[in-house]
């Protein structure tokens, strides 16, 4: 007996739904993606471990907070300088050579810094700079591979969002691994442990065929790379980098805001929980856009995402909230970070020639790092000078910086039409 038409339609719809995968699932099913994401995250762990590891080692040797802050800042700034430089090398000679050499040099610098910090502080600072400069550029390397590994459109959007969200796992695991490393290996051994993870991750990453294939293509096309200028000289790329700096400002300020809130509430350990909940919110945001990628283009979404990110941090200015409510708004403030970074990565892939894509991603990584550093420094100076009473104003200032710099991401044609509308009004 023939089935009624309504039954056939219902069955066909059910079959269509069950055969349709979410974009993030399709990304993880694609060849090489899961392995490359995991090894990249493993190699990036020192970035989330080193700051705390260096501070703890410096404190255990001379107890000087000032020196601990100095050597940590040198490491962070040197890393921001090194990423685009190493990215440019990758675009010229391929991923394999650069990742192997930089991984080895960074590990050796970590080793020397750990051994010299107690007796030769000046040498330790120099080695901290070397460890930062030679940090393997796994983050830009992976993002340069995404367009080769997954289909354009929803899958590529999901890949960039997955990358941004997975990075939050690093900043959850990094401090925990540092605590475990100090307990197991001691302060010196823990720094070697952090450097070793970076080297292992870099070496494991390049064992995959995808980075080797990309390197082989670079060697074939090396003559075509000679006259290519740096992508940061492209105005549109520079505007996205400035926008990304703005994203990092409230992220960096949150560290001080969380610490000040812990002190004001006399609740030991609260700062760690605030940062962890913020990272959890970011994971939720990454999951949502991984399942349902944003529908419009990055050129149109960047500014909107930046403004929403800024607005999401504003409730943290309400420092008088009950602790449970403050934790909730800390989670909410993290929601928009992966979607916004996902748009940044996709926009950079659109704007940069393939020959300079790794360097372009390196500039974005550096911009974010410097933004985080500026937010931490600015908030620290403000709270240090005026006390915890200015935490609300600190949050407001960081959000304003993000919102203002979000205007830089406007496409030229949209900015021009907006200017015309303003002048006509």
Q: Are residues 82 and 199 in the same domain?
A: yes
Report the pLDDT value the prediction gives residue 410, as an integer from 0 to 100.
63
**Is 52 inside a domain boundary?**
yes
Give the CATH number, domain containing residue 185.
Answer: 1.20.1250.20
Give the end of a domain, one of 218, 236, 256: 218
Query: Domain range spanning residue 132?
Result: 31-156+170-218
**Is 82 inside a domain boundary?**
yes
Report the pLDDT value the prediction gives residue 149, as an integer from 0 to 100.
86
**Is 177 inside a domain boundary?**
yes
Report the pLDDT value the prediction gives residue 422, as an integer from 0 to 100.
31
Total of domains in the chain: 2
Report the pLDDT value the prediction gives residue 417, as an integer from 0 to 100.
38
Q: How far apart are CA 183 and CA 164, in angstroms?
A: 30
The answer, as to whether pTM is greater than 0.85, is: no
**Which helix (H) or strand (E) is 356 found in, with range?**
none
Query: Which tens digits make up the pLDDT trace of 238-292?
Result: 899 999 999 999 988 887 788 778 777 777 767 778 877 888 888 888 888 777 7
Structure tokens at 308: 């929403």
DSSP secondary structure letters along 294-307:
-SS-HHHHHHHHHH
Q: Are residues 51 and 200 in the same domain?
A: yes
Q: Are residues 46 and 182 in the same domain?
A: yes
Q: Are residues 175 and 151 in the same domain?
A: yes
Residue 47 sits at the vertex; the CA angle it makes with 138 and 403, to the nearest 5 degrees, is 90
**Is 42 inside a domain boundary?**
yes
**Is 2 inside a domain boundary?**
no
Q: Are residues 368 and 395 in the same domain?
A: yes
Q: Are residues 183 and 285 in the same domain?
A: no
Helix (H, G, I), strand (E, B) or coil at 400: helix
**Is 22 inside a domain boundary?**
no
Q: Are residues 263 and 396 in the same domain?
A: yes
**Is 6 inside a domain boundary?**
no
Give the end of a domain, one of 218, 236, 255: 218
Residues of the chain with pLDDT under 50: 1-20, 220, 222-223, 413-425
**Is 23 inside a domain boundary?**
no
Report the pLDDT value the prediction gives residue 247, as an integer from 0 to 100.
93
Q: How far apart are CA 255 and CA 268, in angstroms?
A: 15
Q: Are residues 187 and 151 in the same domain?
A: yes
Q: Are residues 266 and 177 in the same domain?
A: no
């Amino acid at each position: 007996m023939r089935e009624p038409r309504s039954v056939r339609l219902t069955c066909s719809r059910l079959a269509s739904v069950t055969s349709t995968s979410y974009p993030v699932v399709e990304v993880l099913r694609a060849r090489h993606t899961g392995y490359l994401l995991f090894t990249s995250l493993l190699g990036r762990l020192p970035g989330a471990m080193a700051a705390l590891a260096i501070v703890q080692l410096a404190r255990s040797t001379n107890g000087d907070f000032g020196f601990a802050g100095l050597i940590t800042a040198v490491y962070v700034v040197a890393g921001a300088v090194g990423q685009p430089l190493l990215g440019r090398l990758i675009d010229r000679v391929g991923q394999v050579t650069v990742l192997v050499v930089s991984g080895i040099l960074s590990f050796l610098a970590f080793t020397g810094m750990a051994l010299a910090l107690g007796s030769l502080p000046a040498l330790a600072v120099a080695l901290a700079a070397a460890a930062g400069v030679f940090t393997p550029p796994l983050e830009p390397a992976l993002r340069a591979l995404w367009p080769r590994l997954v289909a354009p459109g929803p899958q590529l959007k999901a890949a960039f969002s997955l990358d941004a969200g997975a990075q939050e796992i690093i900043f959850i695991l990094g401090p925990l691994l540092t605590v475990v490393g100090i307990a197991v290996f001691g302060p010196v051994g823990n720094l070697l442990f952090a450097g070793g993870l970076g080297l292992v991750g870099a070496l494991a990453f390049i064992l995959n065929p995808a980075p080797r294939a990309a390197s082989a293509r670079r060697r074939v096309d090396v003559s075509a790379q000679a006259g290519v200028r740096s992508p940061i000289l492209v105005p549109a790329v520079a505007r996205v980098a400035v926008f990304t700096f703005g994203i990092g400002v409230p992220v960096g300020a949150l560290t001080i805001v969380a610490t000040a809130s812990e002190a004001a509430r006399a609740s030991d350990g609260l700062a760690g929980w605030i940062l962890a909940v913020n990272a959890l919110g970011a994971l939720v945001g990454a999951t949502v856009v991984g399942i349902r990628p944003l529908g419009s283009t990055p050129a149109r979404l960047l500014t909107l995402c930046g403004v929403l990110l800024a607005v999401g941090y504003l409730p943290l200015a309400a420092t008088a909230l009950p602790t449970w409510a403050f934790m909730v708004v800390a989670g909410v403030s993290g929601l928009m970070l992966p979607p916004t970074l996902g748009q940044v990565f996709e926009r950079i892939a659109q704007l940069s020639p393939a020959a300079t894509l790794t360097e372009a991603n390196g500039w974005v990584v550096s911009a974010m790092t410097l933004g985080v550093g500026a937010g931490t420094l600015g908030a620290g100076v403000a709270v240090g000078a005026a006390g915890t009473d200015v935490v609300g104003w600190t949050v407001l200032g960081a959000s304003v910086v993000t919102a203002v710099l979000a205007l830089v991401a406007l496409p030229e044609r949209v900015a021009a039409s907006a200017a015309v509308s303003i002048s006509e009004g």
